[in-house]
Amino acid sequence: MDLVWIFVSASLINNFTLAYFLGLCPFFGVTGRIVTAFRLGLANIFVMLITAVATWILNTFVLPYAPYLRLISFIVVIASTVQFVEMAIKKLSPALFRALGIFLPLITTNCAILGFALFATNRGYGLIQSLVYALGAGVGLMLALVLMAGIREENELATVPRILRGAAMSFFVAGILSMAFMGFAGLFHGK
Amino acid sequence: MRSSLATAGAATFRHGVHPEELKDATAKLPVERMPFVGEYVLPLSQHTGAPAVPIVVPGQRVARGQRVATAKGFISTALHAPVTGTVAAIEPRYHPSGTRQPAIVIRTDPFSSQRIETEPPPPPDSMTADDVVRAVQDAGLVGLGGAAFPTHVKLKVPEGKRARFAILNGCECEPYLTCDHRVMVERAHDVVEGLRIIMRRVGAERGYVGVEVNKPDAIAALEAVANGDGVEVVPLKVKYPQGAEKMLIEAIFKKEVPSGKLPLDVEMVVNNVGTAAALSDLFRTGQPLIERVVTVTGTGVRRPANVLVPIGTPLRDLLEFCGGLSADTRQVILGGPMMGQAQKSLDAPIVKGTSGVLAFTEPVPLVREEACIRCGRCLEACPMILNPSRLAAMVRKEDVDGLRGLNILDCFECASCSFSCPSHIPLVQLMRVGKAIVRQAAKK
Amino acid sequence: MSDASPRLDIATAPFLHRGLDTRRLMLEVLLSLAPVVVAAAWFFGVGALLIVAASSAGAVATEWVFHRGHRGHRGLGSLADGSALLTGVLLALTLPPSVPIWMAFAGGVVGVALGKTIWGGLGQNLFNPALVGRAFLQAAFPAALTTWTAPGQGFLDVASSTVAAPFAHGAVDVTTTATPLGMAKFEGKLTALAPMLFGNTGGSLGETSALILVLCGLYLLARRAFDWRLPASTLLTVAVVAEAMHWLDPQHNPGALFMLLSGGLMFGAVFMVTDPVTTPITPRGAWIYGLGVGVLVVLIRLYGGLPEGVMYAILLMNGATPLINRVTQPRRYGG
Amino acid sequence: MADGEASSVRLVASLGVAGLLSGVILVGVYLGTLPAIERNRAEAMTSAVYRVLPGTTRIETFEVRDGEPVRYEGPEGTLPKGEAVFAGYGEDGHLVGFAIPAEGSGFMDTIKLVYGYEPTDRKIVGMEVLDSRETPGLGDKIVSDPEFHANFDALATEPRIVPVKKGKKTAPNEVDCITGATISSEAVVRILNDSTGRWRPIVDRMLASGGASK
Amino acid sequence: MSEPMEPGRFNRELRKGLWKENPIFIAALGLCPAMAVTNSLTNALVMGAATAFVLIGSSLMVSALRRAIPRQVRISIYIIIIATFVTSVDYVLAALLPTAHKQLGAFIALIVVNCIILGRQEAFASKNAPALAVADAVGMSIGFTLALSMIGAVREILGNGSLLGAKLLGAWYEPWAIMILPPGGFLTLGALLMFFAWLRERAERRPGAEDERRAA
Ligand SMILES: Cc1cc2nc3c(=O)[nH]c(=O)nc-3n(C[C@H](O)[C@H](O)[C@H](O)COP(=O)(O)O)c2cc1C
Ligand SMILES: Cc1cc2nc3c(=O)[nH]c(=O)nc-3n(C[C@H](O)[C@H](O)[C@H](O)COP(=O)(O)O)c2cc1C
Ligand SMILES: Cc1cc2nc3c(=O)[nH]c(=O)nc-3n(C[C@H](O)[C@H](O)[C@H](O)COP(=O)(O)O)c2cc1C
Ligand SMILES: Cc1cc2nc3c(=O)[nH]c(=O)nc-3n(C[C@H](O)[C@H](O)[C@H](O)CO)c2cc1C
Ligand code: SF4
Ligand code: SF4
Ligand code: SF4
Ligand code: SF4
Ligand code: FES
C-alpha cells in the first residue's frame, strides 16, 4: 500500500489519540505546557521508530515459531531497546538526552507504543511500511499533544464552569478536536 | 480627519490611537493671567520622588518666589511661595490624587504688590555643571508634561553616559489640552532658548522639537526662531500617545528605548516645551517655578481658556475665574481625558504637573463590561506592543509569572487599550493592578 | 465651603472611548446577515426560514438556560450581547436546505453548549460555536448533511424531511442536486460562474450567492467589524494555492475563481474566519491563520474524501490558534 | 513483599521462574485454543467464500507463495498463514470460480473484502466486505446495502470496472455507487480493479496449465 | 503479616471500586485501552469481563506470591504475570467468541498496559492478603465494567438505536452516527464525568454533608 497513505492515515485520519483513544495519559497529563508536549511528542516519535524496527525483527524471525510470546516479547524488547538507546544517547548527545531523556521511561510501554506495535504487525507491514507508520503515528500523536497543550494553556485563563474543570473539559476538547480531524477522512484515498 | 492631508510625510510611531482632538475651544485663545486669590495650597508631594521638606512655620510671612520647602535628596525638588502672604498652616489638604496630603497653606497678603524679588542666577555657561543642577533644583523646576519629574535630574548626565540629542516634547497629544500649544505660539523664543540651555548643559549636538501637525502655527513660530545652529522642528502625525517620551523618540528617530531603560540610555533627553520655557525664565529673571499654563475647558466650563495659574490655586477659584461651572456639571478632571484624574472635590489645588482642568456635564456613562472577544484591538493600540487582553486575564488570575513574562512593567498606562476595547474592559486599571502585584511579588 | 461642590462622578481614566461596542458589533453582523437570509428564502423557500428559526431557537434557549444568571441588560442575561443569536443564524445558514428542523435546533443547542458554554461563555471559547454545532451534526447525521436540494422550487414547497418529527428521519421528496464542488469532485463537471455568483446552485442555505456574501463582507469591512487580515489572507491563500494546483494539473484541479466562488469559502471568509473570539489576536497571527485555513481548504477539496473542507479547515485552525498566538506574541519593546 | 536487599542471584532466579511459569501457561493456553481459533478463522473465511461464489459446494485452498498460488497442504479446516485464494467447485465438480481476498484504502481506513471471480467470462459473481471502518450510515452501506451488492452478481471486469452515479449503470462493467458514499463505493471498485488486474493473468495461466480444474 | 481481618473490611474493599474510587469516573484511569471499544454495550461488557479476568487473576497471583517476589524486580514480574493473563484471555476469546474478539481487535492485548491493573498490584495486591486483594480487584473490575457499560449503552442507544444488538428504537429513529464514531466516545465520557461531578457537588452542598465529612 502506498506509503503516503500509510503516513496520512496514521497521523491524521486515524490519529492514535483522537480516533483510537491511545496515549490519553500523556494527552491529558503532560499537556500543561506547549514545550513539554512538543518534547514528549518528539520522544514518542523516537520510541515508535525504535519499536518499528524491534517488532519487525521479532515478527519476522521469532514470532512465527512462538506466536504466544507476542505480547510479552513486545513489552520486554521495546522496554529494553529503549533503555539501551537511552543509555547510548546519554553518552553520545547529552543535549538530546536532556531534551527527551526524562520522557523515555514514561512512554516506553504506554498504550500508544504497544498499540502501534500490535497494529503494525496485525497489518502485516514490512520494515519500510512499519517505519512510515511509526513516523505517521508519532507525528499524529505529537500534533494532538501540542494542540491540546496550546488549548489548555489558553483555557487556564478562562472561567470554565466548576463541574467541568479537569477531566470532563479535557474530554470535551478531545471530542471537538476529534470531530475536526474527521475533515481529514479520505485524504489521499486514491493512493 | 482634518489633519490627514497635512500629515502626509510626517513621522510617527507604531500603534497608538486616534481620539477626537476636541481642542478647538481653546486652541486660538491667548494665555490669560489669573488674578490672585485668597489662599494657596502647596502639597509637599507634587513631583516624582521624595516630598519636599517645609522650611517655614505657620504664621511666618513669605514673599512671592521665596523658597518654602526644600528638596529631600537628589530625586526631589523645592517649593516656592506663589504669592506674598502668610503661612496659614501646614496640614493635610485635598490633593489631586483624591487623598489628603500634607500641604503648606499660604494666605495671600491682599496689599502686596506681588512683585518677584529674586535675582537671576549667573548665566548658565559661566557656572559649573553641578551649580546649574543645584540652581534648577533650588528653583523647584519639574517637568510640565505631566509626570512632574524633577528637571535637574535630567540635566545631570551621569558619569559614562552621553546625551547627543536634546528633544522638546511639543506633541500635546491628549485631546482638549492646548497649554503647550499656546506656550509654543506665544513664547517660541523662550522655548528655543530653554532648549539651548539644555543642549549646552548636557552637551547635546542637536536639539529637536517634536510638534504634531495639528498645531501649524506653533510649528511656524518655532521655525521662525530656530534659526539653524542645530535646532530642528519635527512635524509629527497626530496620534496618541505620541507625547510619551518613548513614542516621541520612536517617531523622530525610529528607535526604541529598550524596556526598563531611559532615554539617556539611547543618548537622549526629553523635556516638555513648557519646562524649557520655565528654564529660560529661571536663567533670565531668576523666577522659580511658581506658575504654569493650564487649559480649562469642557462642556461644564462656561468660559474655556488657557490660563497662567499660580501653583497652588484651588480648583474652585480657577473654575470661578473661567465663568464658573455650569450647574449640571458631573465630572471634573485634572489632566487630559486619557490619563487625567477625576476629582471629587473642588478644594484640590493646581499643582506643578496639572496641564488641564476639564469639566463635563454628561455623567460618566454607565459602561457595561462585556467579555473580551479577543478582537485584538487593544494589541493594535498599545504603543508598547503589549498584549493587554491576555495581561488582563492574567491579572484576574493573579498569574505573576505570566504577567512578568509578557512584560507588564513596560506598560506606562496611556489607556490606549481601554480606549479601543469594544467590550469596555477596564484594561488600564487592570494593568495598574497587575504592575502592582508584580512589583509586590518582586519585593518578597 | 458654602458653595458646595456639585455632585461629581468619580471614575478613572480614560474618559474617552473609541465608541466601538461589542454588542453593536454583534448586531452589525446580524444585520449584514439579513440579505443572506432573504436570499436563502428566495432560493430554497420558506423551509429556509424555518431552519434559521429552529437553529436560532436552539442556540438562544441554551444560552438562556446556562447564562441567564449573568449580569446583563433587562434580565436578558448574556443573551443581550447577541452572540448566541448570531451563532444560531450562522449555523442555520451553513446547513443544507432539506435538513430537518429538529436537527437544526439540536445543532444550535450543541453549538452553544459544547462550543461556548463549557468554555465559560462569550469570548472564552476556542472553537467556532456555529461550526462546532455543524461538525456535530455532520458527524451525527452525515446523510442528512450531505443531501442537497435544488434551488428555485416552489416557495412554499417544504421538503418533508425538513418537518420530520424530532429524532425521526424524513424522506427528501424534492429534487436533489449536487453542489458545484460535489460535481467537480465526483463528476468532473465545473459549474458556470454566473450561478455561483448569483446563488442558484445547490449548497448550504447561506453559501450559494458569492455576490451577496462579498457585499456583506464589504459592508462589515467598512464598519470595521473584523480584522481584514483574516479574510484577506484566507482568500488570497486559496486563490494562490488553487491557481498553482490548477497550473500543475489543469485536468483535475479547478482554477482559483471556481475555488473562491464555490462552496462555503466565501461565507466562511466573511462570517467565520472573521470571528474575533476563535482566531488569533495578533496581526501576524491573523496572516498565519488565514494561510492555514486556505491551505487546508484546498487540500481537503482536492485530495480529501469530502468535497468541501471549509468547516474542518476553520475548526482545525481554531485548534491551532493558541499556538499561533503563542508564537506571534509581540516581542518585547526595544528588545 | 520480600524485604531487604535480595541477592542478584535471587533476582534473576525469580525472574526466570516467573518467565518459565508464564511460558508454560502460555504454551498450554495456546495449544489448547489453537484448533478452535484456526477453525473460527477458516470458517469465517470459507463461509464468505461460499457466499461470493454461488453454487459452490466444495472449496480448495491455495497458498500464495512469491505471488504464485500453490495448493495448500495444511490440515482440513485451517487456513495458510499468509495470503490465500480459494477455488470453488460446484455439485458436479466443475470450477465455479475463484474467491480472492483483497484490500485497499477506503474513506476512513483499510477496507478488506473477498470477491468471487468467474474466470471464463472474466466477471465478478459476488463480493463481501470482511472488514471496514467506514462511516456508519454512509460508507458502511458497502457492507450490507443489497442494491450495492446487486452490482456484483455479474460484473464484467474488462476493460476495467467503472463506478457511476446511482441509477446510471448501463454497461455490464459499471457499478452503481451508493448515494452519499461515492468514495467508499469507488474504493471498492478500485480494490477490485487492482486485484483483478493482478489475478487475471495468474488465473488464466492456472487454467491453461490445468492447475485448478478437476 | 497474617493480619486478622477486621470485620467488614472485605465488604468495604469490594464496594469502594463501585463508586468512591471508581477507576474511570473518579480516578480517570485505564481509559485508553478501553475507550476505543465502547461503541456498543456488548463490546463494553466483553472488554470489562476480559479486564476483570486479568485484574482478578493478577491480583490473586501477586497477593499470593507477595512474599516471594523481590522488590527490585517486582514490576517486571507483575508485568509478566499480567501479560500472561492477557495473552490467555486473548486466545480464549478468539476461540470462544470470535465475533466479539474481531470487534475488539488489538485492544484486548492492550489490556496489558491498562494502568488500573498494574496500579492495583502496586498499590494494593502486593500489600494485602489474597482475600482482600480479590475483593479489591472484584470491586474495581465491577466499577470499571459498570463505567464502560454506561458509556457503551449510551453510545449504542443513541448511535444505533439498539442495545446489546437488539433494536430498541424503531426504523423511524435517525441514529446519531457520531456516537459510535470516535468523537462520540470522548463526548459521552465527558458528559458522564460532568454529570458525576455535578452529583458530587450537589451531595457536598446538601445540608449535613459538612458534618458527615467532619465525622468521617
Ligand atoms: C527613577 C527614575 C530615574 C530617572 N532618571 C533620569 C535621568 O537620569 N535622566 C533623565 O533624563 N531622566 C530620568 N528620568 C525621567 C524619565 O526619563 C521620564 O522623563 C520621567 O519618568 C517622566 O516621564 P513620563 O512623563 O513619560 O512618565 C528618571 C525617572 C525615574 C522614574
Ligand atoms: C501616555 C503619555 C503621554 C504623554 N504625552 C505628553 C505630551 O503630549 N507632551 C509632553 O510634554 N509630555 C507628555 N508625556 C510625558 C513625557 O513622557 C515626558 O515625561 C515628558 O515629555 C518629559 O518632559 P518633562 O519632564 O519636561 O515633562 C506623556 C507621557 C505619557 C506616559
Ligand atoms: C461525516 C461524514 C462521513 C462520511 N463518510 C463517508 C464514508 O464513509 N464513505 C463515503 O463514501 N462517503 C462518506 N461521506 C460522504 C463523502 O464525503 C462524499 O460526500 C460522498 O462520498 C459523495 O457522494 P455523492 O456523490 O453520492 O454525494 C461522509 C461525509 C461526511 C460528512
Ligand atoms: C465578525 C464576527 C464574526 C463572527 N463569526 C461567528 C461565527 O462564525 N460563529 C459563531 O458562532 N459566532 C460568530 N460570531 C459571534 C461571536 O464572536 C461568537 O459567538 C463567539 O465565538 C462566542 O464566544 C462572530 C462575531 C463577529 C463580530
Ligand atoms: S499508558 Fe496508554 S492506556 Fe495508559 S493512560 Fe497512557 S496512553 Fe492511556
Ligand atoms: S497596556 Fe499600557 S501601554 Fe499598552 S495601551 Fe494599555 S495602558 Fe497603554
Ligand atoms: S480590545 Fe477588548 S475585547 Fe478586544 S481583545 Fe482587547 S480586551 Fe479583548
Ligand atoms: S496506564 Fe492508566 S493512567 Fe496511564 S494511560 Fe493507561 S489507563 Fe491511563
Ligand atoms: S498631552 Fe500627550 S499625553 Fe499628555
Tens digits of residue pLDDT in E34-44: 788 898 999 99
Per-residue model confidence (pLDDT) at position B19: 94
CB burial of residue C280 (10 Å; 0-12, 13-18, 19+): buried
CB of E180 within 8 A of CB of E159?
Answer: yes
Alpha-carbon span B182 to B197, nearest angstrom = 21
Digit-coded pLDDT (tens) for B322-355: 999 998 898 999 999 999 999 988 999 999 999 9
Does C154 have pLDDT greater than 80? Answer: no
User: Ligand 9 atom closest to Cα of B180?
Assistant: 1
The confidence band for E213, taking pLDDT boundaries of 50, 70 and 90, is low
Average pLDDT, chain E: 85
> C20-49, pLDDT tens digit by residue?
888 889 999 999 999 999 999 999 999 999
Distance CA B269, CA B267 (A): 7
Residue percentage of chain B with pLDDT more than 70:
97
- Asked if residue D87 lies in contact with residue D62, where contact means CB atoms within 8 angstroms, the answer is yes
**What gap in Å lies between CA B173 and CA B16, rounded to an integer?**
11
With an 8 Å Cβ cutoff, is E102 touching chain A?
no
Pocket around ligand 5 at a 6 A CB cut-off: A 22-25, 110-112; E 31-33, 113, 115
Q: Would the pLDDT of E197 be above 70?
A: yes
Q: What letter would DSSP give residue B314?
A: B
- The answer on pLDDT for C219 being more than 50 is yes
Give the pLDDT score at A191. Answer: 47
In this predicted structure, what is the pLDDT of residue C125? 94
C-alpha cell at B141: 523646576
Q: Answer yes or no: is pLDDT of C2 > 50.
A: no
The separation between the first and the last C-alpha atoms of chain D, rounded to the nearest angstrom, is 68
Give B184's pLDDT tier (boundaries 50, 70, 90). very high
The mean of the pLDDT values for chain C is 89
Q: What's residue D13's pLDDT? A: 85
- Model confidence at C109: pLDDT above 50: yes
Between A114, A167, A176, which is nearest E193 by CB?
Answer: A167
Pick from C296, C297, C284: nearest CA to C325: C284
- Give the amino acid at B107: R
Q: How confident is the model at residue E137 (pLDDT cuts 50, 70, 90)?
A: very high
Report the residue from D22, D26, D108 with minimal CB separation from A185.
D108
Contact A87/A2 with Cβ under 8 angstroms?
no
Average pLDDT of the residues in C268-283: 96
pLDDT of residue A65: 84
Do residues B137 and B69 make contact, with C-beta atoms less than 8 angstroms apart?
A: no
Q: Which of D18, D26, D34 sits opposite E87 (nearest CB)?
A: D26
Cell numbers at residue E97, please?
Answer: 467468541
Band (E176; pLDDT cuts 50, 70, 90): very high
Considering every ligand atom shown, identify the ligand nearest to the alpha carbon of residue E31 and give its number. Answer: 8
Q: Which pLDDT does position B375 carry in this prediction?
A: 93
Task: Report residue B7's pLDDT band, with 50, 70 and 90 as the boundaries.
Answer: very low
Out of B245, B249, B261, B435, mutate this one to test ligand 2's pocket (max ligand atoms within 8 Å of CB): namely B245
Find, in chain D, the residue whose alpha carbon is nearest to that of A66.
D27
pLDDT, one tens digit per residue, over E48-107 is 999 999 999 999 999 998 888 888 888 888 989 999 999 999 999 999 999 888 888 888
Which DSSP letter does residue B332 get? E
Residues of C in contact with A150 (CB under 8 A): 319-323, 326
Cis ω for the linkage preceding D159 (within 30 of 0): yes
Q: C141: distance to nearest CA of chain E, Å? A: 6
Determine the pLDDT at residue B148: 92
Return the higher-pLDDT residue of B168 and A29: B168
Looking at the CA of B369, name the nearest ligand.
7
- In tens, the pLDDT along B363-409 reads 766 677 888 999 999 999 999 999 999 999 999 999 999 999 999 99
User: Can you give the pLDDT at residue B366?
Assistant: 67
Q: CB atoms < 10 A from the CB of B268, how many? A: 24
Cell of E2: 497474617
Instruction: Lowest mean pLDDT of A86-100, B230-244, C62-76, D134-148, name the range.
Output: C62-76
Substitution target in D31, D81, D105, D131 with the highest count of A β-carbons within 10 Å is D105
Local confidence band at E212 (pLDDT 50, 70, 90 cut-offs) = low
Regarding beta strands B291-297 and B305-310, do their DSSP bridges make them parallel or antiparallel, or are they unpaired? antiparallel
Q: Is residue A130 within 8 Å of residue A56, measured between CB atoms?
A: yes
Which of E47, E148, E154, E186 should one mutate to test binding to chain A, selecting the residue with the greatest count of A CBs within 10 A? E186
Whether the CB-CB separation of B338 and B241 falls below 8 Å is answered with: yes
Are C120 and A158 in contact (CB < 8 Å)? yes
CB contact under 8 A, A25 and E32: yes
**CB within 8 A of A54, min separation 6: which ones?**
A77, A78, A81
pLDDT of C68 reads 64
Of ligand 2's atoms, which has the minimum distance to the CA of residue B174? 8
Dihedral in degrees, nearest 10, Cα atoms B252, B223, B173, C229: -50
Top-confidence range, A68-77, B201-210, D18-27: B201-210
Q: Residue B242, SS3?
A: coil
pLDDT at E216: 47
In this prediction, residue E4 carries a pLDDT of: 56
- H/E element holding A113? helix A111-122
CB within 8 Å: E36 and A72: no
Q: Which residue on chain E is closest to C169 by alpha carbon?
A: E174
Residue B31 pLDDT: 96
Window 179-208 of E: residues touching D by CB (8 A cutoff) are 180-181
B372: cell is 473580551
SS (H, E, C) C257-308: HHHHHCCCHHHHHHHHCCCCCCCCCCHHHHHHHHHHHHHHHHHHHHHCCCCC
Q: Which three cell numbers stand for residue D56?
A: 459452490
> pLDDT band at residue E2, thresholds of 50, 70 and 90?
very low
Mean pLDDT of chain B: 92
Ligand 5 atom with least separation from CA of A115: 2
Atom of ligand 2 nearest to the CA of B276: 26
Residue B6: the pLDDT is 42
Residue B2 reports pLDDT greater than 50 = no
For range B139-166, the mean pLDDT: 92
In angstroms, what separates the C-alpha of E187 from chain A's closest C-alpha?
5
DSSP 3-state of C165: coil
Q: Which residue of A has its CA nearest to E78?
A: A72
What integer pLDDT is reported at residue D11 of this predicted model? 82
If you average pLDDT over residues D123-146, what whole number do you get?
89
Query: Nearest CA to C335 among B384, B245, B438?
Result: B384
Least confident of B158-162, B293-297, B417-421, E44-48: B158-162
**Predicted confidence (pLDDT) per residue in C264-275, tens digit:** 999 999 999 999
Task: Return the sign of the alpha-carbon dihedral for residues B260, B266, B271, B272.
Answer: negative
Q: Above 60 in pLDDT, residue C69?
A: no
Quick check: B3 pLDDT over 50? no
Please give the residue that has the higher pLDDT: either C274 or C151: C274
For A187, list phi and psi in degrees, rounded to 5: -60, 130
**Contact A154/B at CB under 8 A:** no
Bridge partners, residue D89, by sequence? D58, D95
pLDDT band at residue C1 under the 50/70/90 scheme: very low
Predicted confidence band of residue A187 (pLDDT cuts 50, 70, 90): confident
Average pLDDT estimate for B155-174: 93
The pLDDT of residue D214: 43
User: Which numbered ligand comes closest to the C-alpha of B411?
Assistant: 6
Percent of the residues in chain A that have a pLDDT greater than 70, as a whole number: 93
Q: Is the CB of C168 less than 8 angstroms away from the CB of E181?
A: no
